[in-house]
Structure 1
């Protein structure tokens, strides 16, 4: 077969898909729109463009070149947004450092990424002071000084301070064109086993993810949308998968953006109220924390749309959010997928549905967004039936999936075995194409010869009014192979004390109705004060299994 290759005009511009091109629209359409930091600092998109240029010039003066890696340790801020653009736009690589890792893990990720320049917020000076002698590639430190944050005594040899660096640099910078497949970002997964793995994305991948996710979020008839009239505030750390890539979407749309700094519940609620925030995204634990924050009781949340990701959306939390008027729905993806793969948006033909059905649909994993080739396969990579019952592993292809793990060919080969990215998530698909994750491969429970979904049991337990949070794990059982164990955090302020027997009876009622197998009823329920989480707020079930055993 002979391809009909294009013969472009010599003077035609090929327009590579580079992050710098995402700035064209907001600077043309919304130059005076606000970007707010902690309710204390306000700048415009026009100023953002100038600060991006100043940062790029300042980093060049410090020796950053095409291909250099610049690492950032900061809270969610306008500065981080500037780094999202300036560093990759000049051809360097942005490493977003997970500040919630242990100091030794932070040092490992910086060394593994080969970062040459490290930008450090005042609050993280103690961490960098402790690891500075272990940093093998960093040759230049830049201090991000924050008013109100007290610097500790340190011996870090800073070359400059962030705002001083920008002030001395020109407000324009000639950002070059280069290959759109150039690596733009690197960050590290926070797995529960082994060292963190480096995930990386190119300019082309980030631009395609931005355009496609923006289209998917804008597509519903009403509700569960992100549009130019919204006010955006991330509640997912900016070090984690580019805050799900949504700051790039918000910037293209030219919407008002609000960055909260360090996550303090009272401040977050205040910003939602005072800045009239209408669109956010977070893990379920963050929303649970905010809904139970005393300051949130009298705040009108009726205009707030929230995507829940990083884990299943429990029915109990969804119902509590809907009761407050929050337009809540699930988003699915993972670090390796940039991350968006699917959204649980209601279909136009949903019509008038009762509350229970609406909760169920909002809590499902949803429909794949455009360009995502998503399959459910068995161990032989054969597709399973789309009947809502047959289950298998989710494997995917999309233009924005990481092409491997940095400097880790063995893990990369496992990730992409058979030409599809393996998510390690077990799921089913119904006849309408709606996806439902039932568990992680490593978390699924096999009891009495049946597969038991820990996520399904968690969702059922979460509906008990006395339950604040719940995690279900499998423990070995001589007779049944494994049995589910429920670890439950009781809701505060109850008039009656929640008991372990209350939880068992609650789940047993669903079993008696035939909704779940009898093997899914936990024989052991343990009331606990808190549940172990990973650095990005997900349930750390590996750690919970270790603690329980």
Structure 2
């Protein structure tokens, strides 16, 4: 192999891909654009000064390059500042999951070895009982929205705004290797403790650039530009809020942070601050549309990328009726998180309405610099005909290169030198991805594979059904059979029963939309379905709760 590495002049600046360089453009082009949280409103110029003051104050407290600084906070301007200042000073930002059970939260903080913990005072009752079991944490910094700072038993090193006041805004953020770890967080799995994933400055910057190209070159639908106003409806502890705060900052958008998640707060901010762009999971979109007073808020300027779970057709129809430009995306924590985003051509948005809905629910296409494949068990590509299925695997410069302190799981993640998503899917003739199911959620019944996602989608098409979950439960004869859990709108309770659900599914079987083996034996109506910390239906809890066998000798519907 010839050595063709370019020569670098000694005086040349060998530009590293660092998070701090994401600030150059907005400070030059949009220095007076604002970032909003409650009554707090500051410009990008002031934002840069606050970053310097925060880094200066943390340095004075003893935080140094390589240290892990964990944050437990609602979505706020402070969290946005931590996204930048902490990794820019060479430390590692840990976005701790505020919704984890205490023991799992304790595990995540101890596994990273976090030495500094910034926490909103709302979480004092959570952290105070755990403090004696956090041997690495030597500094607690309080973040406060209350009129007065509450008393605490923690050894507090300072209060956030007081530290900003004490620090120097002229802190010089250094250069270092672009492969330096910038962030870490934990993703919850189906078993065992949460897995830690981590990303370098280079990975985050390239993720930002690729996703901005993808959403910026769209002809119209879903295109994001400098005049947009961004508000996350994806928690900031979850995969960098899908990386969008970094992207929004690079292009100098007005940014609005909502604090604690509540539909009425979202609606008020959309109305009062002119929010035009957001990301969320389907359950948040549904909450937004169904919230009291929602009909009185103009949502017609809102662009929304929905991921984290399959996007139901009825939900897309309801969103489009309100004028929301909604489309699906697909990703996961290990992918930083983007794997695909759906964008429609102008012709596709002016044609048949039902066809448009079918397109918008597709996970879409891989962004630039992403190699996405669907493969069989021997890592061979399956046909791109929209029918052949296999596991989705990927390569991109921003994918997590391993799990924290878990080399065996890391090797399994990258078997065959591709990242294994654990999802089953297909690619159609146009190159768009379709997700069939999670490998762990596929129901294996009598040699047939039943997609829980497809069955849920069919059930959600029945008027009156707001949520549905399908899980596999043990069956002595068939291995597994689908159990359907249904949540109804209040006005439909009593008018929709098990027979109506089964008859609705049977019509789809007769049309050839789904295998007869997918006919559910058991349908249960529930008042609520458990959600994960990021708003997905928690099938792990459902499987634990409904770990029961069907009656002996029960004949599956598929064999009737």
Q: Report the equivalent of 1:355.
A: 353
- Checking the alignment, whether the CA contact within 8 Å between 1:315 and 1:460 is kept in structure 2 is no
Distance 2:491 2:76 in 1: 35
Q: Report the equivalent of 2:126.
A: 127
Q: Unpaired segments of 5 or more residues in structure 2?
A: 548-560
Instruction: Tell me how far 1:386 sits from its aligned partner.
Output: 0.7
- Checking the alignment, whether the CA contact within 8 Å between 2:328 and 2:361 is kept in structure 1 is yes
Q: Report the equivalent of 1:517.
A: 515
Q: Report the equivalent of 1:96.
A: 95
Instruction: Tell me how far 1:257 sits from its aligned partner.
Output: 0.4
Distance 2:445 2:225 in 1: 46
TM-score, scaled to structure 2: 0.95
Task: Report Cα offsets for 1:91-146 as digits up to 9, x if no partner.
Answer: 00000110100111111111111111110101001111010000021101111121
- Checking the alignment, whether the CA contact within 8 Å between 1:330 and 1:366 is kept in structure 2 is yes
Distance 1:525 1:85 in 2: 48
Give the SS at the match of 1:272.
Answer: helix
Give the SS at the match of 1:109.
Answer: helix
Instruction: Tell me how far 1:348 sits from its aligned partner.
Output: 5.3
Q: Report the equivalent of 2:393.
A: 395
- Checking the alignment, whether the CA contact within 8 Å between 2:221 and 2:346 is kept in structure 1 is no
- Within the candidate set 483, 487, 499, 2:497 is matched to 499
Distance 1:85 1:348 in 2: 37
- Checking the alignment, whether the CA contact within 8 Å between 1:97 and 1:106 is kept in structure 2 is yes
Q: Report the equivalent of 1:455.
A: 453
Q: How does 1:456-495 map to 2 (within 5 A)?
A: 456-494=454-492
Distance 1:83 1:492 in 2: 43
Q: Report the equivalent of 1:337.
A: 335
Distance 2:287 2:364 in 1: 24
Q: 1:351 to 1:83 in 2, by over 3 A?
A: closer
Q: How does 1:36-115 map to 2 (within 5 A)?
A: 36-38=36-38, 40-115=39-114
1:28 aligns with 2:38: no
Instruction: Tell me how far 1:523 sits from its aligned partner.
Output: 2.4
How many pairs are equivalent? 547
Distance 1:170 1:476 in 2: 62
Q: Report the equivalent of 2:295.
A: 297
- Checking the alignment, whether the CA contact within 8 Å between 1:336 and 1:402 is kept in structure 2 is yes
Distance 2:223 2:520 in 1: 38
Give the SS at the match of 2:534.
Answer: coil
Give the SS at the match of 1:368.
Answer: coil
Distance 1:378 1:150 in 2: 57
Q: Report the equivalent of 2:443.
A: 445
- Within the candidate set 145, 153, 159, 1:155 is matched to 153
Distance 1:350 1:81 in 2: 36
Q: Report the equivalent of 1:194.
A: 192
Q: Unpaired segments of 5 or more residues in structure 1?
A: none
Distance 2:521 2:195 in 1: 37
Q: Report the equivalent of 1:418.
A: 416
Instruction: Tell me how far 1:319 sits from its aligned partner.
Output: 1.3
Is the deviation greater in 451-460 or in 348-357?
A: 348-357
Instruction: Tell me how far 1:496 sits from its aligned partner.
Output: 6.4
Distance 1:511 1:352 in 2: 31
Q: Report the equivalent of 1:185.
A: 183
- Checking the alignment, whether the CA contact within 8 Å between 2:349 and 2:356 is kept in structure 1 is no
Distance 1:395 1:300 in 2: 40
Give the SS at the match of 1:451.
Answer: strand
Is the deviation greater in 286-295 or in 86-95?
A: 286-295
Q: 1:215 to 1:120 in 2, by over 3 A?
A: same
Distance 1:351 1:122 in 2: 47
Is the deviation greater in 72-81 or in 4-13?
A: 4-13
Distance 1:444 1:85 in 2: 40
